[in-house]
Amino acid sequence: MTAQTKTSRSMHSSSVIAQRMRPFLAIATVTLFTLMILMVWLSPFGYMVATGLKDRKMITEQGAPIWPATPTTFTYEGKDYPIHLVPTEDGTIHRWAIFKKGREESLFIDPENPEAEPIQWTGRWRTLKRDWKFSPKWGNFTRAWEELGMPLLLRNTLVIAITGAIGTLLSCIAVAYGFSRFRIPGKNILFMILVSTMILPTFVTLVPTYVLFNQIGWVGTWLPLIVPHFFANAYNVFLLRQFFMAIPRELDEAAMIDGAGPLRTLISIILPQAIPVIVSVGVLHIVWAWNDYFMPLIYLATKPKLQPISIAIQNYNALYFAQPHMVQASSLLGLVLPVVLFFAAQRFFMQGVVFTGVEK
């Protein structure tokens, strides 16, 4: 075998290896970039969790880590001494408790061998790092739960959110079904008018809506926060209509041949195919109602026992603004249920729609 042949085979092998490595490098690059974005996006949430598990001393302690931790100490002769990370000449770092502080020389006690004589260390002790131990304050959540009166707030919020979600689904499904399946004179114009209401600011209709609800005696009740959702809204109707239009009409025709009417077709044909979008609309409405602050504040300002969790947490944060750990703990309590709901519905978000065809 000549040297030229060996060189050619070596170049061919290198080319094959490079071709095989390209997909791996591309996937690794995309994965790394995604993880970096995810870390940046989740960093505020991580800070919220870390702060919610601290107390005021942990937050104000100089040199404290970002995670909930307390400085370690060692009890010697009935007195607590702080433990520092002390480097020695051989490069080893020891966990020693400072016994006597000096300007250039200090005495330390070895917690692992307290019977020994104090160790003399040359250097400025103020430059040493403290030793910290993980010490989360789970009692912050218990305290926030009790002070907020969380069971009552959860009841109020769930009634408003779930009842409104039921009304939204019933009304929006009916309207979207009509726009996607029936021949209505001027249907496209009516749909454009409906969609155009999405650009109408809420504050434009706020005053006349409040006057109307006040005239009929609904102010101070849950009705202004629930009843309007039984009359559909443009955003959800648009999502549902677009999804319904993607379902083949042949399924409707097959159901009609079997004697099914429009309502039966909707229940037996359309809705089973549209489970992902229906779950998405329901979850989005519940999360929106859970986070809504402005409307409950307007209609329930004089009824503290009917207020949802959004108003209560805002009032609690205003009361404890000087205690960041309690502010974050209360916010986390209000965040738990939407996060759990999102992960519970995750499989519906990712679920594809499988259509069963008919032979033509």
- Beta carbons of 298 and 288 less than 8 angstroms apart: no
Phi, psi angle pair for 189, to nearest 5°? -65, -45
Q: How many CB atoms lie within 10 A of CB 63?
A: 8
Of the candidate ranges 41-45, 312-316, 327-331, the one whose mean pLDDT is the lowest: 41-45
Whether 347 has a pLDDT exceeding 60, the answer reads yes
**What's the whole-number mean pLDDT along residues 142-157?**
93
Predicted pLDDT at 352: 40
Q: Please name the residues in contact with 13: beta carbons below 8 A apart, sequence gap of 6 or more.
A: none
What is the DSSP-derived secondary structure letter of residue 351? P
Choose among 244, 274, 226, 235: nearest CA to 176: 244
Instruction: Calculate ∠ Cα 214-217-223, nearest 5°.
Output: 95
Predicted pLDDT at 18: 57
Predicted pLDDT at 223: 94
**What's the whole-number mean pLDDT along residues 167-185?**
91
pTM of model > 0.75:
yes
DSSP 93-153: EEEEEEEE--SSEEEEE-TT-TTSPPEEEES-GGGSEEPEEE---THHHHHHHHHHTHHHH
Predicted pLDDT at 355: 36
- Beta carbons of 108 and 99 less than 8 angstroms apart: yes
At residue 279, the 3 state secondary structure works out as helix
Predicted pLDDT at 349: 65
Give the start-to-end residue ranges of the domains of the chain.
73-130, 140-350
For 342, the token pair is 């999102």
Q: Mark out the alpha helices in 216-293 (DSSP H runs).
A: 223-226, 234-245, 249-257, 262-265, 271-273, 275-291
- Beta carbons of 279 and 349 less than 8 angstroms apart: yes
Predicted pLDDT at 228: 93
CATH H superfamily, domain 140-350: MetI-like (1.10.3720.10)
- Beta carbons of 283 and 342 less than 8 angstroms apart: yes
Predicted pLDDT at 357: 35
Predicted pLDDT at 116: 84
* Residue of 103 and 150 predicted with greater confidence: 150
For 352, the token pair is 């594809």
Of the candidate ranges 1-10, 19-28, 120-129, 337-346, the one whose mean pLDDT is the lowest: 1-10
Predicted pLDDT at 305: 92
Predicted pLDDT at 354: 38
Predicted pLDDT at 216: 93
Q: State the CATH class of domain 73-130.
A: mainly beta
Whether 163 has a pLDDT exceeding 90, the answer reads yes
Of the candidate ranges 8-12, 144-148, 322-326, the one whose mean pLDDT is the lowest: 8-12
Q: 141 falls in which pLDDT band (50, 70, 90)?
A: very high
Q: Is 84 exposed, middle or buried (0-12, 13-18, 19+ CB in 10 A)?
A: buried
